[in-house]
Amino acid sequence: MKKYLILSTLLFASCGDMFDTHPYDVDTDGRYHLNDKSLEIIEDRYANKDTLRIAFISDTHGWYSDTKDEVEALNQRDDVDFVIHCGDLTDTGTIKEFHWCCDILDGLKVPYIALIGNHDFLGTGDQTYNVMFGEMDFAFILSRVKFVCLNTNATEYDYMAAVPNFDFMEEEFTRDSTDFDRTVLIMHAPPYSDQFNNNVRKAFRRYLDFFPGLMCCVYGHNHNDYVTNIYHDDLLFYGIDCAEHRNYRIMTITPDGYEMEQVFY
């Protein structure tokens, strides 16, 4: 009897990951603060690089084969420094989708960081994102360029949270101001979209003027590649396509300016 008990306990323990507790159980399986870990590597490698080359991908949710091909296509290049995912890693915010997406993105030979998209909020998805990736608003500086990543998914909070977070933006206007002279703003849902708090879209635009040397804004969400000046002024917004449409954008930042190139795979 005792032998069987030990045997069954061993069997039980060995197939621990075969037992699914719940799609929204927030069991991150040791994946913590992935953005912080990536940023540590990125800041270490590219803090003072002359030319930065960043790949922007977005909305990979559900299209795992396309995402795999995207990762492969990016891996074939030698010029990409790191990858920014503009949100919507998952379709329904379940824990398995987060793991599936990370399993694929972990195949990238360069580090990646990911913003939160509206689909990633579903169920306990926002909590999973917080544990796996970290803060929803964050910023980092490379080669005197500040990258500000903003959570703009206001509809997910029923407009009752500070989204977009103006306090955070204000802090970022001046934090480490001696270390940067240009800014790139990255978000998931652009102003005027169904997720943005459109009551403050014009106030939001005014705030953007306080970012030193704002170069452009990059967003995902709309599932198309689109370049436009949303506010009909000189500020360009680059919409990054979804994985299903099989293209990404490469941003090349030089000391004199930047280029944004759409690449199909």
Partner 1 sequence: MRWNKFFISICLLTMACQVMAKDSVEVASEPENRYNKYVQKAFDRWDMLIPRQFIVQNAGNMGALSAGIGWEYGHRGMWETHLLFGFIPRHESSRMKMTVTLKENFIPWSIDLKEGWSVQPLSASIYLNTVIGHEFWKSQPKRYPDDYYEFMSTKFRLNVGFGQQITWQIPYKKRRYARSISLFYEVSSCDLYIRSKIIDHSVPLKDIIGLSIGLKLQTL
Q: Which lies closer to partner 1 via its Cβ, residue 100 or residue 258?
A: 100
- Helices 166-174 and 201-208 cross at an angle (nearest 10°) of 10
User: Please, which of residues 35-54 interact with partner 1 by CB under 8 A?
Assistant: none
Number of chain residues interacting with partner 1 (CB under 8 A): 35
Residue 123 three-state SS = coil
Q: Is 14 in the site for partner 1 (CB under 8 A)?
A: no
Q: Which residues touch 262 (CB under 8 Å, ≥6 apart)?
A: 225, 241, 247, 248, 249
Contacts with partner 1, 186-225, as mask; x by CB under 8 A: --------x-------------------------------
Which range of residues in 38-46, 60-68, 181-189, 210-218 is near partner 1 by CB under 8 A?
A: 60-68
Q: How far is CA 229 from CA 89, 191, 217, 240, in A?
A: 26, 11, 10, 14
Q: Of residues 124, 151, 153, 222, which one binds partner 1 by CB under 8 A?
A: 124
Q: Is the previous residue joined to 164 through a cis bond, with omega within 30 degrees of 0?
A: yes
CB atoms near residue 106 (< 10 Å)? 11
Are the C-beta atoms of residues 112 and 105 closer than 8 Å to each other?
yes
Nearer to partner 1, 91 or 172 (CB): 91
Q: Which tokens go with 7?
A: 């045997």
Q: Which of 159, 166, 192, 265 binds partner 1 (CB under 8 A)?
A: 159
Q: Which of 225, 216, 226, 145 is nearest to 187 (CA)?
A: 216
Under rule CB under 8 A, residue 19 binds partner 1:
yes
Which of 49, 77, 96, 202 contacts partner 1 by CB under 8 A? 96
Shortest Å distance, C-beta 69 to partner 1: 10
CB 129 within 8 A of CB 35: no
Using the contact rule CB under 8 A, the part of the chain among 23-31, 39-47, 48-56, 225-233 near partner 1 is: 23-31
Would you count residue 131 as binding partner 1 (CB under 8 A)? yes
List residues near partner 1 by CB under 8 A.
12, 15, 18-28, 62-65, 68, 91-94, 96-97, 100, 122-124, 127-128, 131, 155, 158-159, 194
